[in-house]
C-alpha cells in the first residue's frame, strides 16, 4: 500500500526519527489552535498590561501599570479578557496556520515538489495572516475592550461577563459591523506579524541549527529572535489598532491616529514595547513547544 503524502507545516517536525510520518490536516488546525490557546492562558496578563499601557498615554512604566491594576482591581484582573483571548486563538490562530499549510502544499504541487523559499514563505505568511485576522477581528475588538475596561470610570465600563456576552451586546447596541471596527489595521498588523514572524523564525532556526541541536533551546532562541523583529515591525500598527478599537463612537480612524501622534509624539507608537515583546516572544515559543508535544503524542498513539 503506498505511503500517504507527507505535508509540511510552518513548525518543525516533532521528531527527525519519523521523516515519513505526518499529522492529518484536520489535526493540524486543531493542534495549532489548541497550542495557541494554551500559550494565551500563560501570557494573558502581559497582553492586558500591554493594552493598558497603550491606552494610558505617556509617563507610566509596565511596573507602575501592573501595580496599579493589582492594587485597584485585584490580582485576577490581570486575566480580564481571557475568554476573548482564547476565542481569538481559536479563530485567528487556527485559520492562519491552516491557510498557510494549504498555500504551502499548493505551492509545492505547482512546482514539482519544490518547497517555497524565504521570500515565498514571507508572502504566504502575509496572505494567511491577513485572512486569519479578518476572521478573528470580532474577538480582537472584544479582547481590547475587556482588557481596557478596568481603566475606565465605573459608570463608563462595559462590564462584559464573557466574550460571548460581549459579542451579543455589541451587535445589539452598536450593530454587527462594529465587530469589524479597526479591521483594516488589524489585518495589516497580522500581515506584518506573520511576514516577520514566520520568515524570521525559519531563517533564525536554520542559522542556529549549526551550533544548537534541534530541541527546546533551539525553538526558544529562534522564537525570541523572531519575536524581537516582529515586535519592532508590528507594535506601531498594534497601538493604532488598539486606539481605534477602543475609541468612542463618532471618532474616525484617521483622527484617532492623528491625535495620538500630535499629543504623544511619534515615539508613542512604540509605547509598551517591553511587555509587548515579553508577550510576543514567550507566546511564540510556548505555542511551538505545545504544538510539538501534541504532534509527538499523536505519533506515540499510532
* Cα(37)–Cα(122) distance, integer angstroms: 24
The three three-digit cell numbers of residue 251, written as one number: 471618532
The answer to whether residues 35 and 76 touch, using CB atoms and an 8 Å cutoff, is: no
Hey, how many other C-beta atoms are within 10 angstroms of the C-beta on 4?
10
List the one residue out of 1, 34, 31, 65 whose CA is nearest residue 272: 65
User: What's the average model confidence in pLDDT over 20-32?
Assistant: 73
Cα dihedral sign for 166, 168, 171, 174? negative
Give the mean pLDDT of the chain: 80
Query: Cell 516572544 appears where?
Result: 281
Residue 176 burial class via C-beta count within 10 angstroms: exposed 0-12, middle 13-18, buried 19 and up: exposed
- Does domain 25-297 fall under CATH 1.50.40.10? My reply is yes
Q: Is the pLDDT of residue 135 over 80?
A: yes
Domain ranges of the chain: 25-297
Task: Render pLDDT for 240-283 as a digit per residue (tens, 0 to 9).
Answer: 777 777 766 666 767 777 887 888 787 778 877 877 787 777 88
The answer to whether residues 203 and 142 touch, using CB atoms and an 8 Å cutoff, is: no
pLDDT band at 126 (very low <50, low <70, confident <90, very high): very high
Task: Render pLDDT for 70-85 as a digit per residue (tens, 0 to 9).
Answer: 998 889 888 988 888 8
* Cα(127)–Cα(193) distance, integer angstroms: 11
What's the pLDDT at 248? Answer: 63
User: What's the average model confidence in pLDDT over 14-20?
Assistant: 40
User: What's the average model confidence in pLDDT over 8-15?
Assistant: 42
List the one residue out of 283, 224, 228, 247 whose CA is nearest residue 54: 247
What does each C-alpha distance from 13 to 38, 83, 185, 281, 286 come to in angstroms?
20, 30, 33, 20, 16
Residue 261, phi then psi, degrees to nearest 5: -70, -40
User: What's the average model confidence in pLDDT over 144-158?
Assistant: 81
List the one residue out of 103, 95, 104 whose CA is nearest residue 139: 95
CA 8 to chain centre: 21
What's the pLDDT at 86? Answer: 92
pLDDT band at 168 (very low <50, low <70, confident <90, very high): very high
Residue 124, phi then psi, degrees to nearest 5: -65, -40
Q: What is the DSSP letter of 150?
A: G
The three three-digit cell numbers of residue 295, written as one number: 504532534
Q: How much of the chain, in percent, has pLDDT values that exceed 70?
A: 87
The three three-digit cell numbers of residue 105, written as one number: 502544499
Amino acid at each position: 500500500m503506498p505511503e500517504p503524502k507527507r505535508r509540511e507545516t510552518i513548525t518543525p517536525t516533532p521528531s527527525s526519527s519519523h521523516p515519513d510520518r505526518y499529522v492529518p490536516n484536520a489535526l493540524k488546525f486543531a493542534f495549532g489552535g489548541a497550542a495557541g490557546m494554551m500559550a494565551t492562558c500563560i501570557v494573558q496578563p502581559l497582553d492586558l498590561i500591554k493594552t493598558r499601557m497603550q491606552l494610558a498615554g505617556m509617563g507610566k512604566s509596565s511596573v507602575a501599570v501592573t501595580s496599579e491594576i493589582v492594587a485597584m482591581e485585584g490580582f485576577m484582573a490581570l486575566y480580564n479578557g481571557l475568554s476573548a483571548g482564547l476565542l481569538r486563538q481559536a479563530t485567528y490562530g487556527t485559520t492562519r496556520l491552516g491557510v498557510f499549510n494549504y498555500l504551502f502544499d499548493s505551492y509545492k504541487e505547482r512546482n514539482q515538489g519544490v518547497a517555497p523559499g524565504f521570500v515565498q514563505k514571507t508572502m504566504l505568511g502575509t496572505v494567511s495572516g491577513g485572512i486569519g485576522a479578518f476572521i478573528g477581528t470580532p474577538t480582537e475588538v472584544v479582547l481590547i475592550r475587556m482588557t481596557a475596561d478596568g481603566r475606565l470610570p465605573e459608570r463608563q465600563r462595559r462590564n462584559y461577563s464573557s466574550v460571548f456576552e460581549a459579542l451579543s451586546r455589541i451587535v445589539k447596541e452598536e450593530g454587527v459591523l462594529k465587530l469589524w471596527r479597526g479591521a483594516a489595521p488589524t489585518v495589516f498588523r497580522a500581515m506584518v506579524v506573520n511576514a516577520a514572524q514566520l520568515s524570521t523564525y525559519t531563517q533564525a532556526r536554520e542559522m542556529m541549527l549549526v551550533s544548537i541541536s534541534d530541541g527546546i533551546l533551539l525553538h526558544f532562541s529562534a522564537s525570541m529572535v523572531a519575536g524581537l523583529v516582529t515586535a519592532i515591525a508590528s507594535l506601531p500598527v498594534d497601538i493604532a489598532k488598539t486606539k481605534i478599537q477602543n475609541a468612542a463612537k463618532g471618532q474616525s480612524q484617521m483622527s484617532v491616529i492623528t491625535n495620538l501622534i500630535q499629543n504623544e509624539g511619534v515615539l508613542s507608537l512604540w509605547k509598551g514595547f517591553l511587555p509587548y515583546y515579553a508577550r510576543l516572544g514567550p507566546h511564540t515559543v510556548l505555542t511551538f513547544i505545545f504544538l510539538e508535544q501534541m504532534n509527538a503524542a499523536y505519533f506515540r498513539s499510532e
